[in-house]
Structure 1
Amino acid sequence: MLTLKLKTREDRRLRAGHLWVYSNEIDTATTAAKGVAPGTLCKFVDSRDKPLGVGYVNPTALLCGRLLTGKADAVIDADWMLRRLQSALALREKLYPTPYYRLAFGDSDGLPGLVVDRYGDVLVVQLTTAGMENLKAIVIEALQRLLKPRGILLRNDTSARELEGLSLYEEIIGEVPETVDLLESGVPFKAPVRGGQKTGWFYDQHANRDRLAPYVKGARVLDVFSYVGGWAVRAAKFGASEVTCVDSSKLALEVAAENAKLNGIALETRQGDALDVLKTLRGEGRQFDVVVVDPPALIKRKRDTDAGTEHYAALNRQAMHLLAPDGILISCSCSFHMEAAELQRILLRESRTVGRRLQILEQGGQSPDHPVHPAIVETRYLKAFYCRLA
């Protein structure tokens, strides 16, 4: 196996529990990494040749190495992968009574580059690095041994693969329908895994949606960036009097309507750009008791910070205009580069702009099937503020 030596003192991050190695940390004088095929398994050692563990390398990427294990003699095969996935499964089975959750969350589960969402007997898998792409066969074997799924969908169409020099593709193993069934806290939904966003459903907001109950009984609820109606349907099941979904995707709103019908509730849908629809609703004189603003990542790269920050501000400002007196705003961000303190600052500033008094009632993060790796700040990404606007 190839051995990659790190420069002096560049082992500190790995010894502190991190899993990443950057290209400028490799001792290129003693390590010929440039000609190595992307995704090659390797051993990492420090500048004194003391072992750091086994991982994989992609010399074409700035983030060129990821550690799979701190055991220098580890064999990365299907048995090793099965043990990691068994550990991940044991956590989720403690957390959730039904088999609907994120089974593997990359670095946080010791599986950098791997995401697995479980929908009962259907699995949706993303391989986001060259190293994990090279391990695809053992990932599939381990999942089949562990869960015996009816079907596995490889949704390898994420932009993260382009940073690794990987092609985008989808692949089906077994039987995977266009939409799958799931339960969230006992509420049934359908998720369009083959034509929808990312892996088909956003399990990371499960715990935040559970918090809706005390706020929505008898309320008029607006779900902005609703996708397939996760927030709206949960609100209706908690007793909301009216629910409205806003999304730019026709497919998402069609599935949202199906989810409403599945739960025996009425649902209004508005298709279009979120800001445009919010302004239209304001022009119509509409008011809501609860508004959820849950956009996709508006700051994907650090250089997008200024434009993304203004977009968050504009969305929350328009949402505040639509809130009835003492209304509840649930404002979310899944952008890692938008810190919670910055989102709070935006909410305060925009509340002052619209002449409302802001109270923060609760603050949430991602659900525990998306655990945070304490040494990797990037694994803590989701913010959710429950606010009252007096």
Structure 2
Amino acid sequence: MTSCDMGRIIIEKEDFYKKRHMRIYSGAIKKVIDAAPGDIVECYNKDGRFLCMGYYNPKSNISVRVLSFEKEKISRSFFEKRIRKANYKRLKWIKDTDAYRVVYSESDFLPGLIVDKYGDYIVIQIETLGMAKMTETIVDVLKDLFNPVCIYERSDVESRRYEGLPLVKRVLYGKEPDDKIQITENGLRFLVDIKMGQKTGFYLDQRENRHKLLEFNCERVFNLYSYTGSFGVYAAIGGAKEVINVDTSESALEIAKENFRINNIPDSKHKEIKMNCEDFLKNMERVNDYNTLVIMDPPNYVKKIKDIEDGIKKYESIHKDVFYKMEKGFLFTFCCSGLVKRSEFLKVITDAALKMRKDVNILYFSTHPYDHPISLYVYETEYLKGVFSCI
């Protein structure tokens, strides 16, 4: 497609361009010329000056997602260059693991695309119509770059509904993956369910935070919202004599048991409890020593802007509950919502501690690992916030 027959978008409000933000909302658009949903388009200001290239979807509040601020052909070579560059940057920093995020959406100038590598398996997640129309090209590039056993699509995120897309899980290339595949991370082994597990199967974004547990050396660890127990495994390897994993998912807890087993951690050192973590907190014994660590990695309570107020209250509620139970001890807590800013999460913790009249010292702030880079211009790419504190 040449520039002459490509759809055009006339932009009335250029704030996104001045700030190099990669999302153009519907209210910024003045006119749409010859552009169908999912089409690659060129964007111009009212005076005819080129601004960017992207893909268009009138069904979404984010009407255009920027692919480039330069005029260039959006072809196979475009995707190969972007994915190759993203992977090269990861390999400069990611060590001692065969599982990492290859592509992280706007941070790699590929909005709407997630690519995760689990050993010989590639899992992709496509969140937008424009990127969905490029699926065949993306798969072709990934086959050539990684020679995987399988490329599996986990596009089952609710945000696709706003793009007019169905939720899908399917094999795009290669053989059907086993129910569980094994990865390695910092010398430890973990089982991953890429077909049914949370996100694309594993919380790759918590790699550095898990590794921190090797330094903490607490004898007893409460691992709340534990999923498949990876934090608990690190804690046990780091010296914990008792790890209690709490989650509502029975299947996740069964994998947690296997993860302890394949890392040669005896059954006597860990316990799995199927329970709502809020209920567990209310019934948990009081913590009154500095040999105990509580880990809280709750789900995303703020997925939409309209959820912010209620989500903040939910985060504060569970922090009040944990502070109520802790006279002394350590707390490692997280928020994974991109709509909750770091300052807002810190205020949640502060307000909860004040209401429970607890003295709290922050020892460590955490964020994304190297394979989940944060775009300086797209603040929404920062979602994971962690605080390690002492009560």
Q: Normalised by the size of structure 1, how large is the TM-score? A: 0.93
263-272 or 130-139, larger mean C-alpha shift: 263-272
1:241 aligns to what? 241
Partner deviation per Cα, 1:336-373 (whole Å, 9 max, x = no partner): 22222222222223223334210000101111211011
* Number of positions where the alignment pairs a residue of Structure 1 with one of Structure 2: 381
Alignment partners' CA distance in 2, 1:354 and 1:153: 46
Equivalent residues in 2 for 1:1-390, closer than 5 Å: 1-8=5-12, 10-28=13-31, 31-32=32-33, 36-72=35-71, 74-97=72-95, 98-172=97-171, 173-175=173-175, 176-215=177-216, 217-265=217-265, 266-282=269-285, 289-323=292-326, 325=328, 327-389=329-391
Aligned AA (1:155):
R
286-295 or 41-50, larger mean C-alpha shift: 286-295
Residue aligned with 2:231, SS: helix
Residue aligned with 1:244, SS: strand
Partner deviation per Cα, 1:286-342 (whole Å, 9 max, x = no partner): 9971001101111112222222122212212222344462x1101100112222222
Aligned AA (1:78):
R
Alignment partners' CA distance in 1, 2:218 and 2:301: 32
Q: Which stretches in structure 2 are left out of the alignment for 5+ residues?
A: none
Deviation for aligned residue 1:161 = 0.4
Would you say the 8 A contact 2:288–2:326 is kept in 1?
no
Residue aligned with 1:27, SS: strand
Aligned AA (1:192):
D
Would you say the 8 A contact 1:3–1:45 is kept in 2?
no
Aligned AA (1:95):
W
Would you say the 8 A contact 1:105–1:371 is kept in 2?
yes
Deviation for aligned residue 1:15 = 4.2
Aligned AA (2:168):
Y
Deviation for aligned residue 1:282 = 3.1
Alignment partners' CA distance in 1, 2:246 and 2:67: 41
- The percent of aligned pairs where both chains have the same amino acid is 29
Alignment partners' CA distance in 2, 1:14 and 1:352: 42
Partner deviation per Cα, 1:20-73 (whole Å, 9 max, x = no partner): 111222222xx346xx4321111112222222232110011110101112221x
Alignment partners' CA distance in 1, 2:376 and 2:347: 25
Partner deviation per Cα, 1:239-285 (whole Å, 9 max, x = no partner): 11111111111111011111010111132111121111222323899
Alignment partners' CA distance in 1, 2:326 and 2:61: 45
Alignment partners' CA distance in 1, 2:235 and 2:42: 50
Alignment partners' CA distance in 2, 1:55 and 1:303: 27
168-177 or 339-348, larger mean C-alpha shift: 339-348
Would you say the 8 A contact 2:40–2:130 is kept in 1?
yes
Residue aligned with 2:347, SS: helix
Alignment partners' CA distance in 2, 1:288 and 1:163: 47
Residues 334 and 53 (structure 1), Cα distance of their counterparts in 2 relative to 1, 3 Å cut:
same
Residues 15 and 145 (structure 1), Cα distance of their counterparts in 2 relative to 1, 3 Å cut:
farther
95-104 or 289-298, larger mean C-alpha shift: 95-104
Alignment partners' CA distance in 1, 2:374 and 2:167: 27
Would you say the 8 A contact 2:39–2:55 is kept in 1?
yes
Alignment partners' CA distance in 2, 1:67 and 1:349: 38
Residue aligned with 1:297, SS: coil
Residues 372 and 283 (structure 1), Cα distance of their counterparts in 2 relative to 1, 3 Å cut:
closer
Alignment partners' CA distance in 2, 1:276 and 1:164: 36
Residue aligned with 2:222, SS: strand
Residue aligned with 2:348, SS: helix
Residue aligned with 2:30, SS: coil
Aligned AA (2:83):
L
Residues 159 and 253 (structure 1), Cα distance of their counterparts in 2 relative to 1, 3 Å cut:
same
Alignment partners' CA distance in 2, 1:200 and 1:336: 20
Alignment partners' CA distance in 1, 2:115 and 2:126: 9
Would you say the 8 A contact 1:4–1:26 is kept in 2?
no
Would you say the 8 A contact 1:18–1:375 is kept in 2?
yes
Alignment partners' CA distance in 1, 2:277 and 2:286: 14
Would you say the 8 A contact 1:15–1:52 is kept in 2?
no
